[in-house]
Amino acid sequence: MSDAAVHVGSGKVRELYALDDDRLLLVASDRISTFDVVLPTPIPDKGRVLTGLSAFWFARTRELVPNHLLALHDDGRSTECRRLEMLPIECVVRGYITGSGWKDYRATGEVCGHALPEGLVESQQLPQPIFTPATKAQTGHDENIDRETAAGLVGAERFAEVERIALELYGWVSDHARARGIILADTKLEFGVDPQGRLVLGDEAFTPDSSRFWPADSYAPGGPQPSFDKQFVRDYCEELGWDKTAPGPELPDDVVAGTRAC
Ligand code: Q0N
C-alpha cells in the first residue's frame, strides 16, 4: 500500500488529501483572499495561526458536539481529520446583520425566511441569533436558502439537529469572545455524519476565514465594521483602485507585516 496522499479537494486557501479510507489531511496555506480573490502574496504563518484557532475551538466545544480533528501535525498547519459524509449545506449563524444577510434584509426585510424587525441598520445586533443556511456553490457565491429548502437537502430531523447545535456553538463561542472584547458577528460551520450516523463538526471552525470577528471597543452600528485580520489588505486594495477581479495585486511588505501582526 502506498503512503502517497491523494489530493481530494481544494478550497481557496486550503487543500485536502486522503490519507486512507477513514482519514483526511487538511492543510491550511498562507494564502489570503479578499473580495473573493486569492492574492499572490502569502502571509507568513497564517496557515499555522488558523489551524491553531480551529484546534482551540474544537477542544473547547467537544462537549457540545464531536468534531473531526484527530491530530495536529508538527508543521502546525496540517491536521488529520476523520473522513465524514458532509452535509450539502453551509451552516451559518448570524448574531449581527452584515454581509449577504444585510443585502437580503435590505432587499426583502428577511434573511433565509426569518422575518426581522423593521429599521435595522447595517451591523446591528439581532434580537437573537438566527440560523441562516446556504447552499455550497461549486463556483461563485454560496446562496442563502430558507429552512424548508435546507430541510429538503438534509432531512427534517437532521436540519433540526444542526440548527440547534449551530446556535449552541455560536452562543458559547460568542460569549467567550465577548468577555474578551471581541464580537463574533457571524460564523459559517460545516457538519458531516460519521459511519454511526452521528453529527460531527468538520472543516475549520471559528477562524477569521469562516467568521467575522469585530473589536468590541470600536463597534459602531450603522455601517460596515473593520475586519480583525484583513483590514490592512482591504484598505490597500481599495487605495490601489483594483477592480476586484483576478489576478489580485501583490502586497507590499508593510501590508504583509500589518496583517501578520493581527
Ligand atoms: C470535506 N469539504 C469542504 C478544506 C475544506 N472531515 C471531512 N470529511 C470528508 N470531507 C470533508 C471533510 C472536512 N473538512 C470538506 N470538502 C470535503 C471544503 N474543503 C475545501 C478544501 O479545503
Q: What is the pLDDT of residues 44-54, one digit of tens each?
A: 999 999 999 99
> pLDDT tens digit string along 214-249?
999 999 999 999 998 999 999 999 999 999 999 999
Whether cis (ω within 30° of 0) applies to the bond prior to 44 is no
Average pLDDT, the chain: 96
Q: How many CB atoms lie within 10 A of CB 135?
A: 16
Q: Which atom of ligand 1 is nearest to the CA of 136?
A: 3
Q: What is the pLDDT of residues 18-45, one digit of tens each?
A: 999 999 999 999 999 999 999 999 999 9
Residue in this structure with the C-alpha cell 473573493, named with its chain if needed: 36
What pLDDT was estimated at residue 1?
53
b/e burial code for range 149-180 (CB count within 10 A of at least 16 → b): bbbeebeeebbebbbebbbebbbbbbeebeee
Closest CA to 230 of 75, 46, 62, 106: 46
Residue-wise pLDDT for 105-153, tens only, equals: 999 999 999 999 999 999 999 999 999 999 988 777 889 999 999 999 9
The residues lining ligand 1, judged by C-beta closer than 6 Å to any ligand atom, are 9-11, 14, 16, 24, 26, 68, 81-84, 86, 190, 192, 202-203
Q: Are 17 and 7 in contact (CB under 8 A)?
A: yes
pLDDT at 3 > cutoff 80: no
Rounded to the nearest angstrom, the distance between the alpha carbon of 217 and the centre of ligand 1 is 35
Please give the distance, rounded to the nearest whole angstrom, from the Cα atom of residue 16 to the centre of ligand 1. 7
Compute, in angstroms, the gap from residue 202 CA to the centroid of ligand 1: 7
| pTM more than 0.85 | yes
Query: Which cell is 10 given?
Result: 481544494
Q: How many helices (H) and strands (E) does the chain have?
A: 6, 16
Ligand 1 test: best mutation among 86, 87, 199, most atoms within 8 Å of CB?
Answer: 86
